[in-house]
Structure 1
Amino acid sequence: MKRILSSITDGRGFDVGLVSLPLAFLFVLSGLPLVYNVVMSFQEVDMFSLGSFSRPFVGFKNYIDLFAQPETWPILLNTAIFVTASIAGQFLIGFGLALFFWVSFPGASWLRGLFLVSWVMPGLVVGAIWNWILSGDFGVLNFLLRETGVISGNIFWRSDPSYSLWAVIIANIWLGTSFNMILLSVGLSGIPQDLYEAAELDGANAFHRFWTITLPMMRSTIGAIVALGLIFTLQQFDLFAAITSGGPNNTSNVTQYWAWDLSFRQYDFAKGATISVIMIIFVMFASVVYVRSTRHEVRG
């Protein structure tokens, strides 16, 4: 211990202090609440026993009761649809924009910067904007769809059970597309141009060059983007709070919003913690995929 302290004081252990302080910060602000949440999922907790550490231990009862509730499986299905559609939409549109901006033209940098506006905006602000866009009576989206002949009457996106989940999906795709575009643009810029020149000399068309060069060279980048998209999408709460509040009748409810609703509206903190633990497992899985993708990219 004295050796460690002396190395820090004389400057040789500066790197130890530089790393240990952020780790301690993360442990206090992230590690302890995480452990507390996991422990709470195995206890019986209500608003009267929340501040006490001597709470009844119930084992896996909270998990069993959670999956026995009739609304659990529809909400899990909503979450799967929300995550899959959001990641697919953000990636496909982002990839298309990245390929579009890959070709240099006047004003490309300025236009690319405009797309980043959606990413830096707070989720509640984005939700407020899309509340106006998706309004059934005077929304911009309904106006455009009517003018183009796609629909004949108004669609009440936020209150219609058939469209409420897709209203949040559309807003989330808009929110995350620019992030996908930037990461994919970085990946495209790292592909050597001589590979395309050689393939073009061999007679390969644009599709063949994309399939045999672009996609294989972007494999690790795509893996990292999908993993990050899964992490960010599973954490998306603001849009649901601002647009649909999980309604109507849970048709747009997902696990992250349901965990908050159980904990802070119904005061069933144990069930809310149980859902959070299940989400943490999926986020940890996505984090492992992301780390493996980035490690493969660095090695490559």
Structure 2
Amino acid sequence: MLEFTNTFRDGRGFDAVLVMMALGYLVVFSAFPLAYNLLMSFQDVDLFTLTSFDRPFVGLDNYREVLSRPEMWPLLRNTVTFVGISVAAQLVPGFGIAVFFQLDFPFNTWLRGLFLAGWIMPALVVGAVWSWVLAGDFRVLNHLLSSMGLIREEIFWLSDPDVALYSIIIANIWLGVPFNMILLSVGLAGIPEDVYEAAEMDGATRVQRFFTITLPMMRAQLGAVISLGVIFTLQQFDLFAALTQGGPANSSNVFQYWSWQLSFQNYEIGLGSVISVLMIGFVVAVAFVYVRSTRYEHGS
């Protein structure tokens, strides 16, 4: 007992305590909810049986039910469209802005901090702001486009089935670009300056240095940003709740919001769990591809 006490008094056991605390946190707040959600996807769960562990086991019936729903495939297309366009449109300007802030000019740090102000805002607040910007009857965006002569009549961004989803994509891009910028800035700062100087002495132009030095040396960071972008975009819920609630007629609905609707509006909790399991499986696949690519890149 004395030896055990001395171990912690000397600080040698403190690292083990930290590891156990982290493992406990993961088990309680990550592993258990994931396992419980997976279990519910194989059970008949509704509002009356939610608090009971004695629920009918239905096997793959919930998965068959979800796959047979008429809204399944249109919402899958919406989800892929939302994730694909958002991630690509956040990455490209985020990378460009990160490269821009690598230049030395007055108020660089202040401008970078100002640029991050939008990212730290809660998504519901961002949604409220964009609901005003995207409102019809010549509000902010319509007024801007009209004054530039690009439109002649108002566009109902949030109630037109043809553009509602893209309206949320616009808001999500605005929200995610600063996150991409700050992550890529860290990677750019890690590239040795003497590499650029040597290339410049060899006569390489700025564009050539970007494609022969910056892009190859940023490959790992770009992979990480894309993977995180996919994961965070699949988690985006607040913008849908604030802007369109999946409407009109499911034209802007996606899996993450559909899962909430099934679970907490229709009380088909087992079916909502199925959607969550499918999304988790996709996220795991993205993470696996990224980890494999980085291992291959490092020759292991």
- Alignment partners' CA distance in 2, 1:122 and 1:295: 35
Aligned to 1:145: 145
Which position in structure 2 is the counterpart of 1:119? 119
1: CA distance between counterparts of 2:50 and 2:298?
45
Matched-pair identity in %: 59
Deviation of the 1:49 alpha carbon: 1.2
In 2, the alpha carbon distance for the partners of 1:164 and 1:4 equals 63
Matched with 2:129 is: 129
Secondary structure class of the residue paired with 1:250: coil
What value does the CA root-mean-square deviation take over the aligned residues? 2.3
| Shift in alpha-carbon separation, 1:9–1:64, aligned structure 2, 3 A | farther
Q: C-alpha displacement at 1:125, in angstroms?
A: 0.3
Q: 2 CA distance for matches of 1:5 and 1:278?
A: 48
User: Structure 1 pair 2/16, CA: closer, same or farther in 2 (3 Å)?
Assistant: farther
Residue equivalent to 1:166 = 166
Say whether 1:262 aligns with 2:240.
Answer: no
Shift of 1:234: 0.5
Q: Out of 260-269 and 19-28, give the one that drifted further.
A: 19-28
In structure 2, distance between residues paired with 1:4 and 1:75 = 57
Q: In structure 1, list runs of 5 or more residues that go unmatched.
A: none
Structure 1 pair 45–178 and aligned structure 2 pair: CA distance change class (3 A): same
Tell me how far apart the structure 2 counterparts of residues 97 and 249 of structure 1 sit (CA, whole Å).
Answer: 37
Query: How far 1:130 moved relative to its partner?
Result: 0.3
CA distance in 2, matches of 1:193, 1:270: 55
Shift in Å, 1:66: 0.8
The aligned residue for residue 45 of structure 1 is 45
Distance (whole Å) between structure 2 residues aligned to residue 192 and residue 298 of structure 1:
19
Q: For 1:175-208, what per-residue CA distance to the aligned partner results, in whole angstroms no more than 9, with x for missing partners?
A: 0100111111111111122222222233322222
Q: What is the aligned partner in structure 1 of residue 225 from structure 2? A: 225
Q: Comparing 5-14 with 108-117, which one deviates more in the overlay?
A: 5-14
Summarize deviations over 1:137-176 as a string: whole Å, max 9, x none. 1421111111111111111000000110011100000001
Question: Structure 1 pair 6/280, CA: closer, same or farther in 2 (3 Å)?
Answer: farther
2-structure distance, mates of 1:130, 1:170: 9
SS in 2 for 1:280: helix
**Cα distance in structure 2, aligned partners of 1:168 and 1:2:** 62
Give the equivalent residue in structure 1 for 2:278. Answer: 278
Counterpart AA for 2:142: N
CA displacement at 1:271 relative to structure 2: 0.5
1: CA distance, partners of 2:128 / 2:297: 38
Q: Which residue of 2 aligns with 1:24?
A: 24
Q: For the Cα contact (< 8 Å) 1:157–1:163, is it kept in 2?
A: yes
TM-score (norm 2): 0.93
Q: Deviations over 1:32-56 (max 9, x none)?
A: 1111100000111111111111111
Q: What does the per-residue CA deviation read over 1:35-93, in whole Å, with 9 as the maximum and x for residues that have no partner? A: 11000001111111111111111111111111111100010110000001110111011
CA gap 1:197/1:67 in 2 versus in 1, 3 angstroms: same
Provide closer, same or farther for how the CA distance between residues 224 and 117 of structure 1 changes in structure 2, counting only shifts above 3 A. Answer: same
Alpha-carbon distance in structure 1 between the residues aligned to 2:169 and 2:3: 56
Aligned-pair CA distance for 1:94:
0.6
Give the conservation status (yes or no) of the 8 Å contact 1:224–1:293. no
Give ranges in structure 2 of 5+ residues lacking alignment: none
Tell me the residue number matched to 1:57: 57
In the TM superposition, residue 5 of structure 1 has moved relative to its aligned partner by: 8.0
Partner of 2:207: 207
- In the TM superposition, residue 293 of structure 1 has moved relative to its aligned partner by 7.0
Distance in 2, matches of 1:62 and 1:244, equals 27
Q: TM-score, normalised by structure 1?
A: 0.93
How many pairs were matched up?
A: 299
Instruction: Verify the 8 A CA contact 1:43 1:58 in the aligned structure 2.
Output: yes
